[in-house]
């Protein structure tokens, strides 16, 4: 099935629902609470492993209950962790407030030990990175660590994927290290200055990313699908009623990376990514709602 190595972050998502945000100094009663696994790198690793790829994650955690949640999540999905646990820090967590009436949210993220992922830690895993089929990273860990991982992978001839999220200013030369870059519309506009709402706008933005050195830009466009440079729009895959779109981008990236690792064409890999995302938003998969390979294959065979 191929091998995928992901450099990224685990964050425990703590989500609270209430009628409104409390004022400073005020306590109000909430209507619900959930605790679950999050972090872009971790979510993408779970999606990739559930798709059947041999999937490894490189990260740092604390020595606490949230780290146990991380290891349990990876064990159930079949992700192989390469993780340093630090007694001097804590596992990342996110406080998510959701307003009952609108569904709008406000989020505080405290990355904890993941902020201590450094170049020396990446070099300690250079052999793992150089011996994979696909290397994936995002921008939740320090930028220099992501850059270092991409440099090691590129030097070894490994296929490189950058999911530039959350949006950030990139160092010179970073995009030129990437075979694929997978921003959503907002992240793409941050990188290119082009608002992406239509296919023609997506094509212009992809041309800009190509000029910056990207091999194949791919813009994820929500319910429209994914726009691939040179191939056009690959339609979204409808798998059922949409329950929650959080994590859909991570599902796409994990499914896409797993398909690339098994030597699928870029077009087929994007289709697998869209199918993985399409199922994830129905919450039909396992935590964090990532579908199995059998679920994805059945959906693709159905022609949806």
Q: What residues are annotated to the active site?
A: 250
Pairing of strands 54-62, 80-86: parallel
Binning the chain into helix, strand and coil, the percentages to the nearest 5 are 40, 25, 35
Pairwise CA distance, residues 291 & 46, whole Å: 9
CA 189 to chain centre: 18
Give the chain's length. Answer: 304
Q: Name 297's Cβ contacts closer than 8 Å, sequence gap at least 6.
A: none
> In the numeric block, which tokens belong to residue 2?
């191929």
- SS3 track for 235-286: ECCCCCCCCCCCCHHHHHHHHHHHHHHCCCCHHHHHHHHHHHHHHHCCCCCE
DSSP state of 51: T
């Amino acid at each position: 099935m191929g091998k995928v190595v992901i450099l990224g972050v685990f964050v425990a998502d703590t989500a609270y629902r209430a009628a409104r945000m409390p004022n400073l100094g005020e306590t109000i009663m909430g209507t619900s609470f959930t605790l679950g696994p999050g972090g872009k790198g971790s979510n993408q690793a779970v999606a990739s492993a559930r798709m059947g790829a041999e999937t490894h994650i490189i990260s740092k955690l604390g020595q606490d209950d949230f780290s146990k949640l991380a290891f349990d999540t990876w064990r159930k999905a079949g992700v192989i962790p390469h993780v340093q646990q630090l007694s001097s820090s804590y596992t990342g967590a996110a406080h998510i407030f959701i307003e009952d009436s609108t569904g709008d949210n406000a989020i505080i993220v405290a990355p904890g030990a993941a902020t201590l992922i450094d170049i020396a830690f990446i070099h300690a895993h250079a052999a793992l990175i150089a011996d994979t089929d696909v290397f994936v990273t995002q921008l939740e860990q320090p930028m220099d660590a992501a850059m270092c991982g991409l440099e090691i992978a590129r030097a070894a001839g490994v296929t490189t994927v950058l999911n530039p999220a959350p949006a950030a200013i990139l160092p010179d030369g970073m995009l030129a290290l990437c075979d694929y870059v997978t921003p959503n519309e907002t992240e793409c506009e941050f990188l290119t200055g082009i608002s992406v709402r239509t296919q023609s706008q997506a094509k212009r933005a992809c041309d800009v990313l190509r000029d910056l050195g990207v091999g194949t830009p791919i813009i994820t466009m929500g319910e429209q699908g994914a726009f691939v440079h040179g191939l056009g729009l690959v339609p979204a895959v409808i798998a059922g009623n949409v329950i929650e779109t959080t994590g859909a981008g991570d599902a796409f990236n994990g499914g896409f990376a797993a398909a690339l690792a098994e030597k699928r064409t870029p077009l087929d890999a994007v289709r697998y990514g869209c199918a993985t995302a399409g199922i994830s938003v129905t919450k039909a998969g396992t935590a964090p709602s990532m579908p199995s390979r059998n679920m994805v294959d059945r959906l693709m065979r159905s022609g949806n």
